[in-house]
Amino acid sequence: MYNKDKINEISEKKKQWEETTLKKTLEKFPERKETFKTTYNEELKRVYTPEDIQDIDYLEDIGFPGEYPFTRGVQPTMYRGRFWTMRQYAGFATAEESNKRYKYLLEQGQTGLSVAFDLPTQIGYDSDHSMSEGEVGKVGVAIDSLKDMEILFDGIPLDKVSVSMTINSTASILLSMLIAVAEKQGVSQDKLRGTIQNDILKEYIARGTYVLPPEPSMKIIVDIFEYGSKYLPKFNLISISGYHIREAGANAVQEVAFTLADGIAYVEAAIKAGLDPNVFGKNLSFFFNAHNNFIEEIAKFRAARKLWAKLMKNKFNVTNPAALRLKFHTQTAGSTLTAQQPLNNIIRVTMQALSAVLGGTQSLHTNSYDEALGLPTELSATIALRTQQIIAYESGVTDTIDPFAGSYVIEALTKDIEEKAMNYIDKIEKMGGMVKAIEDGYVQKEILNSAYESQLAVENNEQIIVGLNKFTVEEEQKSGSILKVDPEVEERQKEKLKQLRKERDNELVKKNLLKLRNAAENNENLMPFILDAVKSYATLGEITDVLRDVYGEYHEAVIL
Amino acid sequence: MGKIRVLVGKPGLDGHDRGAKVVARALRDAGMEVIYTGIRQTPEDIVNTALEEDVNIIGLSILSGAHMKLCEKVLKLLNEKNAKIPVFLGGIIPEDDIPELKKMGIAEVFGPGTSLETIISKVKEIAGTN
C-alpha cells in the first residue's frame, strides 16, 4: 500500500521517535508491564505503523466486501442491507415451556430461534434412561420424540422463522423431526431455513457429547450433506464450531486453526463420498466465540474468513463464490462471565458482541449476565437481546462496512492470526489430518495447556479479571433470582413417554427401526430411514440405540 | 501420611471438563497423586474407582444442574460401602443449594472463580483430617 521510500521514511522517523520522545517518557514513567501479549502469546508492539502492513496488498489480501478473499465480509452491503440474525440460544425444561420462551423472544424482536437441547437429547438417551437421571430438561429442552418437537414449534411458522439447533451426535434425528414438523405445518422442506450444528469433531475435542466413533459419525454427517444438498437448499447443514474449542481453553489462533482443520476434514470426507464442494460448500457455516480481547477478536474473525476462502480455493479448487464464503454465528464467551459482581457481565458481553459485529458476523447470541450462576431468567435474557439491538440500532458501527479495516494493528493481527493458524493446519495435515490428531489427543492437549496457562495467569494476577482478582468486594451482590428447572419436569417427561409408547403403532416403529438397522449395516444413506422412523414416533433413544448397536460407542482416552 | 491421592470425577452427561482438568493438573502440580476419570461417569463408576485406587478424597465437577441427584447418589454409594472418603464439588452450583449439599455430606463446594490456591489448600485440609 506504501512505496518503499515512504516505508523507509516512516522507519527512520519511528527510530527517532523511540530515541527522543518515547525514551524521555519511559525514563520517567515506565510502562504498566514488561511485555504486552496477545492471547496466543505473541508480543504486541507498542505502536503499529504502515511498516507492519507493508507486505499486505490491499486488492489481494483485503479486497471488497462480498468478494474473494472476503476479508471485509461475505456480503457486498453487510449490515447496511440487513442486520445479523439475533439468535438467542434458549431452551429448558419441557417443549411447552421452551415454546413459551421462544414466542416471548420473538415478540421482543429476536429474529431467529436457537434451540438448546438437554444432555440426554444430545447424547441419544430417552428421558427415562438411567443415564438421564437428574439431567432431564436441565441445560436445554428435553425432546424424546416427534411429539415433543410438534409442541416445541407449535404456533411458530417454520417457513418464516429460521431455526438453529445445537445438536451434534443426534443431529440426523433432530433434523428429521424438524422436517416432519414442518411438513405437518404444510411447509415443504425446501423452504426450511436454519442451521444444525452437526459438528462431531469438536465434540471429541472439547464438548463431549459424542456417541459413535469418529468414522461412522463422519459417515452420517456426509449422509446429511448429501440429503440436504438435494432437499434443503436453504439450510446450513453444519456449523463448524470453534466456540466450544475456545471455551475449553484454546487461544484465538487455536480457535481458528482447529475449527478450520475440522472444516477441512468434513470437506475431505464429503468429497471422498463423491459430493461436489462447489455445491455443498454453500451449506457450510461456522460458529465462533467472541472473547475479551477486543482488537484481537476483530482480527480473528477477519483472518478466519480470509483463510477459509483461500483453503477452499487452493486446496479444493472451489470456484463457486458462494462456496468460498465463511459465514458464521457468534456467541459471546460464557467462560469469561463471573459469578462475582454478575452485573459486570453485561459490559463484558457488550464488548464481546461489538467485536463480533465489527468482525462481520451473520448471527449472534449474547449471553445473559447470570450464566455463571445458572440458566438465564426472562429479565437477563431480555437484557442480553437488548444489548444486540442497541449495537444494531444505536451505535452507528453498522452503517459502514468493516469500519476497522486499514487500522495498522487490525490488519497486522489479521495477517498474524492467519499465518499462525495456517502453521497449525499444516502441522495437523502432517500428522495425518484432524481425525488422527484428535485420536492421538494432540488437539486436546494443546487446548488444555492453554487453559492451564491462562488460569495460572489469573492466579498470578498477570491477567486481571475485574471483580474476581481486582476490585473485589467483601459482600458479594448476587444476581437475584436464578432460573431453576423443577425436578418434576423429569417425571412429567417420563410420563409423556409412557403414554407415547402406548398410543403409537409399535409394529410400524419396529419395522422402521429394522429398516434403519439394515441400511446402516449396508452402508446406505441413513437420512430417509431416520426420517421414516421419526415420523412413526420412534423415540430418539430407540433410534440412537440402533446406531450404537451397529457402529459401537466411542470412549475417549483420558488426557491430562 | 504420604502423598494425597485424589480422584477427580465427572459424573453425569456434562462434557465441560475444562475446570475438572485444570483443577486436576493444579492438584498434581501441588504434589498430589491425581486420578481423573474422564467425562460421563456414573456414580457407581466413580465410587468403584475411588475404592480401587484407594484415594483419600474425591472431587466432583458438575455444570449441568444435575448436582443434587448425582451428589446424593455418590454419597449414598460411599456410605453403603462404608467408605469414609470426603467429597468436594465444583461447578455451576447455585448459592441456595450449598447448605443442602453440605447437609448431605459434601465437604466443600467451589463455585466459578475459585482460585486454584484456595482449592489446593482446602483439599489438603480436608484430606488431612481423613
> Taking 70 as the threshold, does the pLDDT of residue A475 lie above it?
no
pLDDT of residue B130: 45
**A403 contact B CB<8A:** no
Query: Quick check: A392 and A114 in contact, CB under 8 A?
Result: no
Query: CB distance A560–B70 less than 8 Å?
Result: no
Neighboring chain A residues of B75 at a CB cutoff of 8 Å: none
Residues A394-432: pLDDT tens digits?
A: 999 999 999 999 999 999 999 999 999 999 999 999 999
User: CA–CA separation, B30 vs B44, rounded Å?
Assistant: 28
Q: How many CB atoms lie within 10 A of CB A505?
A: 11
Residues A28-75: pLDDT tens digits?
A: 999 999 999 999 999 999 999 999 999 999 999 999 999 999 999 999
pLDDT of residue A213: 96
Torsion angle of alpha carbons B60, B61, B63, B65, nearest 10°? Answer: 0
* Region for A34 from its dihedrals, namely left if φ exceeds 0, alpha if ψ lies in -120 to 50, beta otherwise: alpha
Give me the interface pTM, i.e. the ipTM.
0.93
Please give the average per-residue pLDDT across A258-264, as a whole number: 98
Cell of A431: 500428522
Residues B105-118: pLDDT tens digits?
A: 999 999 988 999 99
pLDDT of residue A485: 85
Q: Closest approach of chain A CAs to the CA of B63, in angstroms?
A: 9
> Taking 90 as the threshold, does the pLDDT of residue A293 lie above it?
yes
Please give the average per-residue pLDDT across B40-60, as a whole number: 97
Q: Which residue has the higher pLDDT, A479 or A447?
A: A447
pLDDT of residue A318: 98
pLDDT of residue A1: 64
Q: From chain B, which residues contact A within 8 Å (Cβ)?
A: 12-18, 21-22, 24-26, 28, 34, 36-40, 42, 64-66, 68-70, 92, 94-95, 111-113, 115-117
User: CA–CA separation, A359 vs A353, rounded Å?
Assistant: 10
Please give the average per-residue pLDDT across A369-383, as a whole number: 91
CA angle A222/A224/A225 to nearest 5° reads 60
Instruction: Share the mean pLDDT of chain A.
Output: 96
Kindly indicate the confidence band of residue B1, based on its pLDDT and cuts at 50, 70 and 90: low
Please give the average per-residue pLDDT across A296-318, as a whole number: 98
DSSP B53-109: TT-SEEEEEE-SS-HHHHHHHHHHHHHHTT----EEEEES--GGGHHHHHHHT--EE
Q: Please tell me whether residue A470 adopts helix, strand or coil conformation.
A: strand
DSSP A64-105: -TTSTT-TT-SSSSGGGT-PPEE--EE--B-HHHHHHHHHHH
DSSP state of A138: S
> Taking 90 as the threshold, does the pLDDT of residue A484 lie above it?
no
Q: What percent of chain B has pLDDT over 70?
A: 98
| pTM, rounded to two decimals | 0.95
User: CA–CA separation, A439 vs A426, rounded Å?
Assistant: 17
Kindly indicate the confidence band of residue A477, based on its pLDDT and cuts at 50, 70 and 90: low
pLDDT of residue A560: 84
Query: CB distance B18–A372 less than 8 Å?
Result: no
The number of C-beta contacts closer than 8 angstroms across A and B is: 108
Residues A148-195: pLDDT tens digits?
A: 999 999 999 999 999 999 999 999 999 999 999 999 999 999 999 999
User: CA–CA separation, A126 vs A316, rounded Å?
Assistant: 40
Pairing mode of beta strands A162-166, A112-116: parallel
User: CA–CA separation, A250 vs A420, rounded Å?
Assistant: 14
Chain A residue with minimum CA distance to B96: A482
Query: CB distance A249–B16 less than 8 Å?
Result: no
Please give the average per-residue pLDDT across A456-467, as a whole number: 94
Please give the average per-residue pLDDT across A500-527, as a whole number: 98
CA-wise closest residue to A532 among A99, A235, A199, A180: A180
